[in-house]
A = this chain, B = another copy of it.
Amino acid sequence: MVNMSNLVDRIERHIKKILQDTPQGYVVIQRSGLASQFECAPSQINYVLGTRFTVEQGYLVESRRGGGGYLRIVKLGIETPDYLDDFIAQLDAGEMTQNAAEGLIKRLAEEGLLSKREAMLVRTVVDRETLSLQVPERDRLRARLMAAVLRTLAREDF
């Protein structure tokens, strides 16, 4: 139990914390500042953003380089209906990795669209092991399954 929490988790928690404490729904910070606060390489911040603040998980990261550069991390709200339709259509036509699906499920759970139990159900259903197909097919099927889940959640009649 040495590493009760590694860097990536601590930084993730920190960002989510200030994101919660802020009313606007976004944070603006400096990469270098955050890095020195956690005494790590600046690129570690990019790693955190790339793995924990993805679009699937409901975040948007904007940035600016150069003098006065910054990172702006936005927490996206529950999808607007039209955005959702587009997203479902994309899924139906495309693929989704297990990681991406897990991010999305996590987000749906966080936003209260899926209960813990429901999230668990969906998670096992789209699991690699369960699907047991080879890769292009598996990711396509997973995408369709997630699309079906979203479509069901979008129904309001039960």
Asked if residues A67 and B6 are in contact (CB atoms below 8 Å), the reply is yes
| Chain A interface helix/strand/loop/mixed | helix
Interface residues on A, range: 35 or more
Copies per complex of this chain: 2
Is A130 on the interface with B (CB-CB < 8 A)? Answer: yes
> Which of the candidate stretches A75-83, A94-102, A140-148 sits at the interface with the other chain?
A140-148
Q: Mark A120-158, 1 if CB is under 8 A from B, else 0.
A: 111011010011110000000100110111011101001
Partner-B contacts on A (CB < 8 A)? 1-3, 5-6, 8-9, 28-30, 33, 67-68, 116-118, 120-122, 124-125, 127, 130-133, 141, 144-145, 147-149, 151-153, 155, 158
